[in-house]
Amino acid sequence: MRYVAFPGHPLPVSQVCLGTMMFGDKCDAALSEAIVARALALGINAFDTAAMYSAGASEQYLGNALKAAPREQLFVATKVVKGVDRQSILASLDESLTRLQMAYVDLYLIHWPVQGMNLTEMMGALNEVVRAGKSRLVGCCNFPAYLLASANAVAAARGWAQLRCNQVAYNLMERGIEVEILPQGSLEQLAITAYRPLAIGLLTGRFLPGMPMDAATRGMTDARVLTWLSQHGRSLERFVAYAQAKGLHPAQLAAAWVMHHPVVTQPILGVSSLSQVESAVQVPDILLSPAERQEITDLFQTEVTEEGLQRFPGTRYNFPRMRRTLTLAVRE
């Protein structure tokens, strides 16, 4: 396993983070513990959960599975389940710590923005969490760049703990974070953790045009599968063929593509079997050159486009390009 720095945290984290959303759903307690034990044995030390996953069972199963592991060698992230007001933030974390059987988490995340949210109240509560030692870092999920910047400006003006991470969806078909969010992560030295790197299974090769849908998979229950399959079916066929030509499983190549963006800290790989853990730990060993990553990118026509996007190089007088570039400014 390879390890990377997580901004603001002293522990190097595994380049792959284990997602536990299926704990308490597809995975019972015994399988969840077996998955975590195997992940630890193979060098994974970063785990992502949330209070809302299986109504708290994900946290409970993860906590049970990690009880015997040295706490200082783990990186555990969880998320607010209720609202973004002070009472919800503080109560949600206390409940999560009880289920996890831990005194603190390493990263406490606001799960989603809320209409009309009070940034001063939210950041004040997150600062209390850090000052109380209940989380080493705080962050957010699914925040637009302007909202994260505004929240951190509120915190900076008051000497409070700032958001150090934005957890966002990123894969070969969902590339919206390349506009504004990834450049912000680069400039402000934020951790960017990427969920849905396999696009709910579409990038595993399990769903291709003309294939029958297995009733046990999300293809029968998630409308996004059929929608994206109709939009990107030919690209998916090309991607699977590309992976096979390289001797790689499509899921591993898809995760490696996410991992090789220079601003992404970790892809979060949700697993529901021991074989998926074995596959996940091989992802950091897949090395892609910038040219190879671009070849894979070009298999899909999914770059975020907007009116006025210019194709000539450079950023001068080219606002759409400025929103994407990682090198427009430096901090000092």
Residue extents of the structural domains in the chain: 3-200+250-288
The pLDDT tens digits of the residues spanning 227-283 come to: 888 899 999 999 999 999 999 999 999 999 999 999 999 999 999 999 999 999 999
Query: Can you give the pLDDT at residue 316?
Result: 59
The CA distances from residue 165 to 51, 77, 113, 205, in Å, are: 18, 11, 14, 31
In this prediction, residue 62 has a pLDDT band, given cuts at 50, 70 and 90, of very high
* Residue that is written with structure tokens 């005194």 in the block: 103
Query: Can you give the pLDDT at residue 332?
Result: 56
Mean pLDDT, rounded, of the chain: 92
* Residue that is written with structure tokens 């499509």 in the block: 250
For CA atoms 50, 53, 58, 59, give the dihedral sign.
positive
The pLDDT tens digits of the residues spanning 159-207 come to: 999 999 999 999 999 999 999 999 999 999 999 999 999 999 999 988 8
According to CATH, the topology of domain 3-200+250-288 is TIM Barrel (3.20.20)
More confidently predicted of 215 and 190: 190
Q: Does 24 have pLDDT greater than 90? A: yes
Q: Where are the alpha helices (DSSP H) in the chain?
A: 29-41, 57-66, 86-100, 119-131, 145-158, 181-188, 223-245, 250-259, 274-280, 290-297, 319-322
The CA distances from residue 172 to 49, 71, 178, 239, 294, in Å, are: 23, 35, 11, 10, 11
Query: Can you give the pLDDT at residue 141?
Result: 94
Query: Can you give the pLDDT at residue 208?
Result: 82
Q: Does 331 have pLDDT greater than 70? A: no
Q: Does 218 have pLDDT greater than 90? A: no
From 53, 61, 170, 195, active-site residue? 53
Query: Can you give the pLDDT at residue 216?
Result: 60
pTM, full prediction:
0.91
Separation of alpha carbons 170 and 199, rounded Å: 8
Other C-beta atoms lying within 10 Å of the C-beta of residue 284: 20
Query: Can you give the pLDDT at residue 207?
Result: 81
The pLDDT tens digits of the residues spanning 225-243 come to: 888 888 999 999 999 999 9
More confidently predicted of 155 and 226: 155
Contact between 274 and 34 (Cβ < 8 Å): yes
Query: Can you give the pLDDT at residue 304?
Result: 85
Q: Is 53 a catalytic residue?
A: yes
- For the chain, the maximum distance between any two Cα atoms, rounded to a whole number of angstroms, is 58
Mean pLDDT is lowest, of 7-11, 78-82, 209-213, 299-303, for: 209-213
Q: Does 302 have pLDDT greater than 60? A: yes
Contact between 154 and 129 (Cβ < 8 Å): no
Query: Can you give the pLDDT at residue 213?
Result: 66
Measured in degrees and rounded to the nearest 5, phi and psi for residue 325 equal -70, 140
More confidently predicted of 157 and 319: 157
Contact between 34 and 60 (Cβ < 8 Å): no
For CA atoms 222, 226, 228, 232, give the dihedral sign.
positive
